[in-house]
């Protein structure tokens, strides 16, 4: 997988979709949208989980403890700048000790999102390609 800084075209929509897991609202309401974005990305399930744990979780996790009330989402520009800034920090190399490594896989919404991605990708591969008629 390319570093985030070298893959912004593909990474930005993935960051936005994964950040929806950290909203203080019913995150299942955005599942169909999130699954569609993530299923169409070039990343494997393992790579998506790595992006979630290493890039999105550290920047968005504090919103889960916010008392600011319900809101619509993270600003894409803010999200990108925070993630890229964090990835440049020297301590980022210690990402193996992130709490997200222990907790993300426990999220029922993430598990359901992964299942949806796998189902959507399986369906898109099972559809025969339409060829133009002559």
* Dist CA 30 CA 80 (whole Å): 20
* 41 inside domain: yes
* 132 inside domain: no
Per-residue model confidence (pLDDT) at position 89: 83
Who has greater pLDDT, 97 or 32? 32
Range of the domain at 105: 4-126
Contact 100, 21 (CB under 8 A): no
* Dist CA 134 CA 25 (whole Å): 52
Rg of the chain on CA atoms, in Å: 16
* 56 inside domain: yes
* Dist CA 70 CA 79 (whole Å): 18
Contact 117, 48 (CB under 8 A): yes
* 93 inside domain: yes
Contact 52, 107 (CB under 8 A): no
Per-residue model confidence (pLDDT) at position 8: 97
* 131 inside domain: no
* Dist CA 42 CA 59 (whole Å): 22
Tell me the pTM: 0.82
Residue 73: which region, alpha, beta or left (left: phi > 0; alpha: psi -120 to 50)?
left
* Encoded tokens for 71: 């809101």
* Dist CA 93 CA 14 (whole Å): 22
- Tens-digit pLDDT profile for residues 75-133: 899 999 999 998 888 765 555 556 555 667 778 899 999 999 999 999 988 766 555 55
* 134 inside domain: no
* 96 inside domain: yes
Give the number of domains in the chain: 1
């Amino acid at each position: 997988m390319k570093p985030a800084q070298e893959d912004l075209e593909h990474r930005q929509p993935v960051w936005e979709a994964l950040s929806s897991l950290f909203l203080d609202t019913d995150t299942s309401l955005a599942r169909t949208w999130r699954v569609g974005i993530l299923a169409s990305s070039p990343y494997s399930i393992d790579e998506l989980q790595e992006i979630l744990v290493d890039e999105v979780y550290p920047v968005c996790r504090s919103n889960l403890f916010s008392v600011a009330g319900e809101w619509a989402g993270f600003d894409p520009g803010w999200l990108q700048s925070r993630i890229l800034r964090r990835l440049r920090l020297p301590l980022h190399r210690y990402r193996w000790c992130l709490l997200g490594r222990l907790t993300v896989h426990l999220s029922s919404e993430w598990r359901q999102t992964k299942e949806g991605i796998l189902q959507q990708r399986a369906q898109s591969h099972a559809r025969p390609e339409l060829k133009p008629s002559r």
